[in-house]
Amino acid sequence: MPVPLRRPFKSGLDRALARHAAHGGGMLDCRLASGGQWDRPFDDLVRQARTGALDEVPAMLVTTFHHDILLPDLLDHYRPAPRGPQPELHPACTAAGLPDPEGVFRVFAVVPFVFLIDERRLRGRAAPRRWEDLLDPAWRDEIVFGGWRPDGESAYQDYNAYLLTALHREFGDAGLTAFAANVRHLQHNVRTASRAGSNSAEVGAVAILPWMQAELCPRRDRTRVLWPEDGALAMPIAGLVRHGADERVRPLMDYLLDDELGAVLARNCYPPATPRLAGLPPGARFKWPGWDYVRGHDMAERSRAAAACFFDALYARTGLRTCA
Whether pTM exceeds 0.75: yes
**276 and 139 within one domain:** no
The rounded distance, in Å, linking the Cα atoms of 311 and 173 is 12
**245 and 269 within one domain:** yes
**23 and 78 within one domain:** yes
**16 and 82 within one domain:** yes
DSSP letter (8 states) at residue 151: S
Give DSSP secondary structure letters for 43-97.
Answer: HHHHHHHHTT-GGGS-SEEEEE--GGGG-HHHHTTB-PPPSS------HHHHHTT
323, 311 Cβ separation under 8 angstroms: yes
**258 and 284 within one domain:** yes
- Looking at residue 323, its pLDDT comes to 45
Domain contains 164: yes
Domain contains 324: no
The rounded distance, in Å, linking the Cα atoms of 146 and 42 is 22
**178 and 68 within one domain:** no
H helix runs in the chain, sequence order: 3-22, 41-50, 72-75, 91-95, 119-122, 161-182, 189-195, 211-215, 250-257, 259-267, 291-296, 299-318
**167 and 27 within one domain:** no
**189 and 122 within one domain:** yes
Instruction: Describe the crossing of helices 250-257 and 3-22 by its angle, rounded to 10 degrees.
Output: 130
Q: Whole domain around residue 191: which residue ranges?
A: 112-231+302-318
Residue 76: CATH number of its domain: 3.40.190.10
- Looking at residue 324, its pLDDT comes to 44
pLDDT mean values, one per 10 residues, the chain (324 residues):
86 91 85 61 68 72 81 76 73 94 92 97 97 98 95 86 97 98 96 96 97 96 97 95 88 92 94 84 94 92 96 85 48
- Looking at residue 155, its pLDDT comes to 82
**310 and 199 within one domain:** yes
- Looking at residue 34, its pLDDT comes to 61
**136 and 227 within one domain:** yes
**97 and 119 within one domain:** no
Query: Based on the structure, what is the number of domains in the chain?
Result: 2
- Looking at residue 75, its pLDDT comes to 77
